[in-house]
Chain A
């Protein structure tokens, strides 16, 4: 393999990894606060991409305007989803909430089939994003460069919110101990809604950037990325934002480079994530950056 080709693969791996990281953050934040796998997160990602698509295709908005529209709609949707599907079950056994999440995920997917049609839709990639730049013999699509940049900007903002603002402090408090946080006059429901809003916002971002990189939409497009990003979050240590980013990049890099270096394994590409997940869970059940929790009686 030539150096140029290798660099090309690295660029691909980094952009895929940052997409995974964006979505994984949503999983990790929700899990950190509610101890719930938001199975519908991948579908929120799909919705983001679709709303942006309709924004440009039907309302003839410029791409940045439809991006804002999609992000607003998707965040509201995420908040609504939590209110309808998860809040009534907050004190029920874990299994019930998880079933509700799976049900919500299927409901969204099938509603999407109903409303958007099952046939894949081609996305018109903005000229700016689809442009190809050449660095010597390496040619990279602009969107592959934009994605990591976007990810790092969003990540910086998120880390600032979580660690420097009062809302962030409340979020950390709720994730440590819901009851104690409530006693300290933290508006738990508000914080949960806020978390879902932020998570969905990141998912929408991820979805739109994804649709620029792989310009085809279908109602089930969120399923596999959703699962993989959840896995990325678990690998990194669920509940930790840094862990989600680490897991996302790790997964993206492993996936691209294994296929690039060992093309015979390309048929197994979708299984890598799961194999990695199982290995990590067995060796270090709380993930790479996760904290060990002891069970209290």
Chain B
């Protein structure tokens, strides 16, 4: 068993997110991630995983591991990342999210929501109000993510908008999160001392990239045998030598 460092960015948006740049297409994302030296990424668009498959395909062709995920907005207006090992699990989660997501997008107000092909062509526009909040509680989202064997990470908890600590004051003890993400503005070590609410949860940082130039601005190193979902889960539990690198 040979463990080595993999640079991971588990929070990358695509052109499907209304607030993300048109340039965030599958091929361009993979190119930028490889240039940034990343070894493992997750696609987490707002309340949708419809571009995850295309980015995963391009990633496979270029030797970059891509996990499917979503950045789900709870009814408390807390953003939480759901990251999965298999596309089918993410798409099952997406069904639950869509069933609880009211409203229609207005591209002129919120931005375009492009479903892209592996060749960076436009397949369709998603008509849902992806920027909105679901009617699902935070606890329900974490439970459903775990039932589908996914990882549940509270997004950008250092931020004044849609961060768990801002919205709810502190992290409920019975929430069973797998970790928290802090933004590129603060290091995990600094966040852990500035925000005591983080406690002993694994504290990670990712880019939350909405434009290509955001890619690489933050990542977390993981000591793993290979860039897989299973290895990532072991590292978050500090098991069998796998761990999060400071």
* A and B associate in one complex: no
- Interface positions of B (Cβ within 8 A of A): none
- Interface positions of A (Cβ within 8 A of B): none
